[in-house]
Chain A
Amino acid sequence: MTDKPINNRAWFFVLPVLGFVLFSSIIPAMTVVNYSIQDTMGANNFFWNGDAWFRDLLNPSTEIGARFNDALFRTLAFSFTCLAIEVPLGIAMALCLPRKGWAIGIALVVMALPLLIPFNVVGTIWQIFTRQDIGLFGAALTGLGLHYNVTQDAISAWITIVVIDVWHWTPLVILLSYAGLRAIPDAFYQAARIDGASRWAIFFNIELPKLQKVLVIAVLLRFMQTFMIYTEPVVVTGGGPGSATTFLSIDLVKIALGQVDLGNAAAMSLVYYLITLTVCWVFYTIMTQIERRRDA
């Protein structure tokens, strides 16, 4: 677009960042690629291994393949569960917010507070919160007679991690949905009232279609983040009990740093990265298709 300023001096401002990214991300990433196609016995002896690591990884009958498969399945299940709760909940709460008035500012700020908390602090808060002896949540549930133990019961662990994510990130969906709802002109609501539409019909026929673009962004962001989740499960459950909450990222760290099995870890990293990239691309295509259909 020729109406943006064309000033080549701007490229110089990018150089430091470029250098930083090069050293902190791209060059180390090259190392990972290196490890994924070679085998090492330590002390810099490298043997060419071709795609052996990848083949093992993607073959569910090998040990590493089975492990990868399980972790992948767990992570996907986690993502979909969180999405299924957060997106409708976020929209519903955005619908409850008033459209005008002084209460808006306060409501939005209070709701956005969980978004500001660093991930490991979130983990620590909930770790204490869910303890059966001193945690409010844990003690309350146990006091009600429910069997609740994050470190020993897989179901409790799962539910807790999902609740943490919902608590932490639903406000993002609320904010995005609210912005999308505010963009709908009043005349649509007035016309719908005159047409005698019920609240549900208004939601279905006016609000939801107009929220399409916003929802694609919200779903994309939430999927990405849940798919890559690391800190909260590690802090709260350590990946346990057993491997009940060992998601892909956690498993990857265990293999790479715990077992120092660099070949497998490197291959897993790359496959993980490619899956994430593919999902991103799919969403982007969906979004541009919506744009194009709208303009047609």
Chain B
Amino acid sequence: MKQITLDGIAHSYSGKASSDSAYALKPLHYVWEHGKAYALLGPSGCGKTTLLNIISGLVIPSEGRLLFDQTDVTHLATEQRNIAQVFQFPVIYDTMTVAENLAFPLKNRRLSKPVINKRVAEIAEMLDLTRDLNRRARGLTADAKQKISLGRGLVRADVSAVLFDEPLTVIDPVLKWELRSKLKAVHRALDLLMIYVTHDQIEALTFADRVIVMNEGRAVQIGTPAELFECPEHTFVGYFIGSPGMNLLPATVTGRHAVVDGNEIQLAAAYPDLPPNRRVQIGVRPDYASLTRSVGLPVQIRRIADLGRKRLAHVTLGRYPMVATIPQDMSDIGEQAKVTFDASHTHVYLDDVRVRGVAA
């Protein structure tokens, strides 16, 4: 399969949607390419699981068509779709050993024993499960069980897409790192289309080639992790990605300057006159706002958070709270300091949507 196409896919759980708000998933057009890794990122209720279930066939969309290459599969049953799905909690067959679990999908398709054994050995090797092949699946740890769930999906040679529904939810933080790099290694080795649903931005950004940020049933921005980080098109993306999220400060913008509560900030581009009575904000990530002793805008320090490998200062610029990064070598910070903004990473938002300036 070369691609999956979403052609006006939309879904409303109550059948025909009467109004915009009745949609669990608003109309969406997108083409997923073979071999790439995608993440659907968003808060609970944003529609990402609904979208995943439409692709896997567990939900039939109320509008639109789903195409695998040129074939319309909108109403095709799940078992005929050549996809595999890994769920939030490990789904394994209790009574079987690891090897039998991995062999199960192949047995159902009536493949011959030698073929099955060879394939099971390959996948077990790839997922570091070879040692446990003859153990009862029931007695293993959560991360091993998730690997088995994944293995069952990969063992079928006809699988062209693997869908993940928040698979690392029950895994310990230390093991999450192993499992994530294992997923990436598998992705590269097998060259599959992978779609990963999560509300955790670290998982989404580290895993995916392209991230689709969703909110309230809508795809807000689609881009590479770098694009979403450096240049959020929507304040929601700025807020949702990055920990902490982007600082959003109400401002008035004229030409190359923005004024936040009396403080003037230089911008990297010239902006046209923005219509009055609309919400204008400038956004800058804490990573690009640095605390200094003497250069920049005066701020009051409310609190310092020590995160081990970096420190953040929660400050107020005029009336507005924001977060800035403290340089490694800065110590003895009192209650007052200054903050500088990296102009190339300071964006202007009109009614939550980014405004393009003209770089002179």
Contacts and interface: CB of A to CB of B under 8 A. Distances in A.
| Contact between chain A and chain B defined by CB under 8 Å | yes
Interface of A: 185, 187-188, 190-191, 193-198, 201, 205-206, 209-210, 294, 296
A187 B149 CA distance: 12
B96 A194 contact: no
A205 B78 contact: no
B58 A190 contact: yes
A191 B91 contact: yes
B89 interface: yes
Contacts of A190: 58, 78, 85, 87
Interface of B: 56, 58, 77-79, 83-85, 87-89, 91, 93-96, 104-105, 108-109, 138-139, 149, 152-153
Contact of B108 (A197, A206, A209): A197
A296 B153 CA distance: 27
Given A190-B58, A190-B78, A209-B95, A195 B105 contact: yes
A24 B104 CA distance: 58
A195 B100 CA distance: 13
A197 B58 CA distance: 15
A205 B153 CA distance: 17
Given A187-B87, A187-B88, A205 B108 contact: no
B88 A194 contact: no
A196 B88 contact: no
Nearest to A190: B58
A198 B107 CA distance: 11
B153 A194 contact: yes
A193 B79 contact: yes
A210 B93 CA distance: 10
A206 B93 contact: yes
B46 to A, nearest CB: 20
B91 A187 contact: yes
Contacts of A188: 91
Contacts of A205: 93, 95-96, 104
B94 A196 contact: no
Given A196-B108, A209-B94, A191 B79 contact: no
B79 A194 contact: yes
B259 to A, nearest CB: 53
A194 B108 contact: no
B93 A196 contact: no
A167 B149 CA distance: 42
Contacts of B58: 190
- The A interface, classified by DSSP as helix, strand, loop or mixed, is helix
A191 B108 CA distance: 13
Of B83, B84, B85, B139, the most chain A CB neighbours within 10 A belong to B85
A194 B84 contact: yes
B167 to A, nearest CB: 12
22 contacts: A187-B88, A187-B91, A188-B91, A190-B78, A190-B87, A193-B77, A193-B78, A194-B78, A194-B83, A195-B152, A196-B105, A196-B108, A196-B109, A197-B104, A197-B108, A198-B108, A201-B108, A205-B93, A205-B96, A206-B93, A209-B95, A210-B94
A188 B83 CA distance: 16
B149 A191 contact: yes
B108 A195 contact: yes
Contacts of A187: 87-89, 91
Contact of A194 (B56, B89, B139): B56
Of B56, B93, B108, B152, the most chain A CB neighbours within 10 A belong to B93
B275 to A, nearest CB: 50
B170 to A, nearest CB: 12
A278 B354 CA distance: 77
A202 B108 CA distance: 11
Given A188-B91, A195-B108, A205-B95, 18 more contacts: A190-B85, A190-B87, A191-B85, A191-B91, A191-B152, A193-B78, A194-B56, A194-B79, A194-B83, A194-B153, A195-B105, A196-B105, A196-B108, A197-B104, A197-B108, A205-B96, A209-B95, A296-B139
A218 B5 CA distance: 50
Contacts of B91: 187-188, 191
A16 to B, nearest CB: 47
A210 B139 CA distance: 16
A205 B94 CA distance: 8
B87 A191 contact: yes
A194 to B, nearest CB: 5
User: Which 3 pairs between the two chains have the least Cβ-Cβ distance?
Assistant: A196-B108, A191-B91, A195-B105
A191 B56 CA distance: 11
Contacts of A210: 94
Nearest to B153: A194
Contacts of A194: 56, 78-79, 83-85, 105, 153
B44 to A, nearest CB: 17
Contacts of A296: 139
A85 to B, nearest CB: 25
Contacts of A195: 104-105, 108, 152
Contacts of B109: 196
Contacts of B139: 296
Contacts of B77: 193
A191 B90 CA distance: 10
Contacts of A201: 108
Contacts of B93: 205-206, 209
A208 to B, nearest CB: 8
